[in-house]
């Protein structure tokens, strides 16, 4: 395997290894991908404020969140289909996260079912949940998350309707097998013998593990987009969030907040945290980046609950930027998924090592020795 030194290196490895339709699903956004680009560029454009002649010989980056102490203010956010990026991919990612003492979040749309993650990775991970039309399925997923020992529930609320992702159509993911898209997928698979050997042959079963109660034991990738279109519920309100709350007694976090008024509503509803997120630019194209939205939301929350953030984070420097903008904790998405696709569990572990090292350097060179020291003054003000 070609040696990787950054997240961008792992992106290149993922592109070379994954079938085209899987890479496009991972890498792409909705419509013209304006928000996807903003997430990365707006964060990168923030200038860190370098300070000198301060004692930075003892930089501490451990962080407390939801009653646990983590090695750094970073976790692995939910990424759909990541079980297909490497052999039993979510299991590998969970193990890397556990070894690094950071949280791993399993997506509802995962390849590996929640029970497998609990069995092979240990309890204590987080679970990401959608409210779909079939409320019995939602209740069952909450019950399974409890049984698996999940320590937090991330309720994603920015998918009332799915955004259109042009790349998925072009690559053949969004059409069923037997039609033109199915043929496209077959030809792309043939061109990736390493993935076929590692994942398709030795990583079976290739199913959408958590969706088996709805799609059956043969639930497969080709069913995903149709299921999403038929089952995501546009009628969800705060009353439904309260319904989830009554079934879940652990930390409940609302993921997909991009407006201060919605953040205030989450506080009023008694949520345990929010994730400032635009779904990685995969939903409403043309919205502001999370970097631009974050300061106003953090101000609206006013320290009354933890503020997590994702979107465009590609380095430890980006983590520090997010913290300076008002986040208490940062979730990686594509960064760890690229590493999983390019290098498996070792790739994810390596990216976490890179992120940690970069956080420490950024803190030392901005004169910060504790996470609590990072704030607006860490950035150059316009």
Q: Which residues are catalytic?
A: 279
Backbone angles phi, psi at 359, to 5 degrees: -60, -45
Instruction: Tell me the binding residues for FMN.
Output: 78-80, 107, 128, 130, 156, 255, 277, 310-314, 333-334
* Cβ contact 306:339 at 8 Å: no
* Cβ contact 137:129 at 8 Å: no
CA distance 217 to 52: 60
CA distance 221 to 111: 9
Instruction: Tell me the binding residues.
Output: 25, 78-80, 107, 128, 130, 156, 165, 255, 277, 279, 282, 310-314, 333-334
Burial 291-309 (b: 16+ CB within 10 A, else e): bebbbbbbebbeeebbbbb
| Residues listed for the chain | 382
> Any idea which residue has 């923030």 for tokens?
46
The DSSP code for 259 is S
Surface-to-core class of residue 191, CB atoms within 10 Å of its CB (0-12 exposed, 13-18 middle, 19+ buried) = exposed
Q: Two tokens at 139?
A: 């209740």
Backbone angles phi, psi at 287, to 5 degrees: -75, 170
Q: Are strands 68-70 and 63-65 parallel, antiparallel or unpaired?
A: antiparallel
Instruction: Tell me the binding residues for glyoxylate.
Output: 25, 165, 279, 282
Q: Which residue from 126, 150, 124, 155 is spatially nearest to 138, judged by alpha carbons?
A: 155
Q: Which residue from 281, 294, 353 is spatially nearest to 321, judged by alpha carbons?
A: 294
Backbone angles phi, psi at 120, to 5 degrees: -95, -20
CA dihedral 379, 295, 163, 237 (to 10 degrees): 160
User: Helix (H) and strand (E) counts for the chain?
Assistant: 16, 10
* Cβ contact 293:276 at 8 Å: yes
How many degrees, rounded to 5, is the angle at CA 379 between CA 373 and CA 382?
145
């Amino acid at each position: 395997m070609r040696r990787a030194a950054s997240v961008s290196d792992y992106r290149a490895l993922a592109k070379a290894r994954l079938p085209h339709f899987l890479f496009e699903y991972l890498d792409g956004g909705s419509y013209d991908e304006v928000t996807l680009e903003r997430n990365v560029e707006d964060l990168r454009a923030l200038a860190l404020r370098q300070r000198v002649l301060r004692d930075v010989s003892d930089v501490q980056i451990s962080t407390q969140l939801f009653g646990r102490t983590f090695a750094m203010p970073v976790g692995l956010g939910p990424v759909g289909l990541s079980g297909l990026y490497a052999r039993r991919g979510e299991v590998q990612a969970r193990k890397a996260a556990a070894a690094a003492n950071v949280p791993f979040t399993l997506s509802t749309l995962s390849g590996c079912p929640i029970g497998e993650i609990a069995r092979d990775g240990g309890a204590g991970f987080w679970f990401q949940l959608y409210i779909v039309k079939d409320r019995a399925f939602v209740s069952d997923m909450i019950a399974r998350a409890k049984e698996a020992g999940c320590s937090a529930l991330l309720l994603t609320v920015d998918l009332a309707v799915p955004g259109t992702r042009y790349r998925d159509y072009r690559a053949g993911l969004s059409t069923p097998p037997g039609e033109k898209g199915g043929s496209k997928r077959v030809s792309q698979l043939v061109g990736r013998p390493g993935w076929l050997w590692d994942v398709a042959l030795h990583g079976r079963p290739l199913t959408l593990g958590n969706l088996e109660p709805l799609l059956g034991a043969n639930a497969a990738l080709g069913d995903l987009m149709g299921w999403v279109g038929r089952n995501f519920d546009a009628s969800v309100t705060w009353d439904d969030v309260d319904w989830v709350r009554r079934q879940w007694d652990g930390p409940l976090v609302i993921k997909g907040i991009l407006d201060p008024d919605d953040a205030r509503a989450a506080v009023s509803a008694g949520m345990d945290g929010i994730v400032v997120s635009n779904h990685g630019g995969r939903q409403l194209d043309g919205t502001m980046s999370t970097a631009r939205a974050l300061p106003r939301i953090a101000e609206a929350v006013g320290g009354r609950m933890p503020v997590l953030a994702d979107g465009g984070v590609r380095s430890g420097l980006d983590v520090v930027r997010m913290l300076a903008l008002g986040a208490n904790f940062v979730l990686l998405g594509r960064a760890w998924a690229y590493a999983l696709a390019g290098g498996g569990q070792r790739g994810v572990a390596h990216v976490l090592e890179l992120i940690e090292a970069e956080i420490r350097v950024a803190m030392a060179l901005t004169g910060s020795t504790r996470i609590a020291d990072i704030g607006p003054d860490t950035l150059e003000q316009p």
